[in-house]
Amino acid sequence: MKKAAIIISRTIIVLSMLALAGCSGNTDRSEQREHLVSHQLTIGFSQVGSESDWRVANTKSMKDTFCAANGYTLIFDDAQQKQEKQITAIRNFIQQEVDYIILAPVTEGGWDTVLQEAKDAGIPVIIVDRMVDVSNDNLYTAWVGSDFRREGEKACKWLRSYTRAMGIKAKELHIVNIQGTIGATSQIGRTEALESAAKKYGWDLLASASGDYARTKSKEVMESMLKAHGNINVVYCENDNEAFGAIEALRQADKSVGLNIRAGETLVLSFDGTTAALEHLLKGEIGLVTECNPLQGPAVRKIIETLEKEGAVPKQTYINEKVFAHDDTVESVMVHDTQYDITVVSQKLIDKRKY
Ligand code: GYE
Q: Is 181 in the pocket of ligand 1 (CB under 6 A)?
A: no
- Number of Cβ atoms within 10 Å of the Cβ of 327: 12
Average pLDDT over residues 39-48: 93
**Residue 16: its pLDDT value, please?**
39
**Residue 337: its pLDDT value, please?**
62
From CA 53, how far away is CA 278, in angstroms rounded? 13
**Residue 38: its pLDDT value, please?**
56
User: How many Å lie between the centroid of ligand 1 and the Cα of residue 167?
Assistant: 33
Residue 65 has pLDDT above 80, yes or no: yes
Average pLDDT, the chain: 90
User: How many Å lie between the centroid of ligand 1 and the Cα of residue 106?
Assistant: 10
Residue 13 has pLDDT above 50, yes or no: no
Q: Cα–Cα–Cα angle for 341, 160, 347, nearest 5°?
A: 45
From CA 130, how far away is CA 160, in angstroms rounded? 27
* 275 Cβ contact partners less than 8 Å away, ≥ 6 residues apart: 350, 353, 355
Q: Is 190 in the pocket of ligand 1 (CB under 6 A)?
A: no
**Residue 336: its pLDDT value, please?**
60
Q: State percent of the chain over pLDDT 70.
A: 86
Q: What's the one-letter identity of residue 177?
A: N
Contact 126, 316 (CB under 8 A): no
User: How many Å lie between the centroid of ligand 1 and the Cα of residue 213?
Assistant: 7
User: How many Å lie between the centroid of ligand 1 and the Cα of residue 132?
Assistant: 15
Average pLDDT over residues 291-317: 97
pLDDT per residue over 18-29, tens digit each? 333 333 333 444
pLDDT per residue over 181-236, tens digit each? 999 999 999 999 999 999 999 999 999 999 999 999 999 999 999 999 999 999 99
pLDDT per residue over 126-150, tens digit each? 999 999 999 999 999 999 999 999 9
pLDDT-based confidence at residue 341 (cuts at 50, 70, 90):
confident
Contact 20, 68 (CB under 8 A): yes
Q: Is 41 in the pocket of ligand 1 (CB under 6 A)?
A: no
Three-state DSSP class for residue 165: helix
pLDDT per residue over 145-178, tens digit each? 999 999 999 999 999 999 998 999 999 999 999 9
Of all protein residues, the one whose alpha carbon is nearest to atom 5 of ligand 1 is 186
Q: State percent of the chain over pLDDT 90.
A: 83
Q: Are strands 100-103 and 142-145 parallel, antiparallel or unpaired?
A: unpaired
Average pLDDT over residues 348-353: 96
Residue 7 has pLDDT above 60, yes or no: no
| E strand or H helix that includes residue 177 | strand 174-179
- Taking each continuous run of H as one helix and of E as one strand, the counts in the chain are 13, 13
Contact 73, 93 (CB under 8 A): no
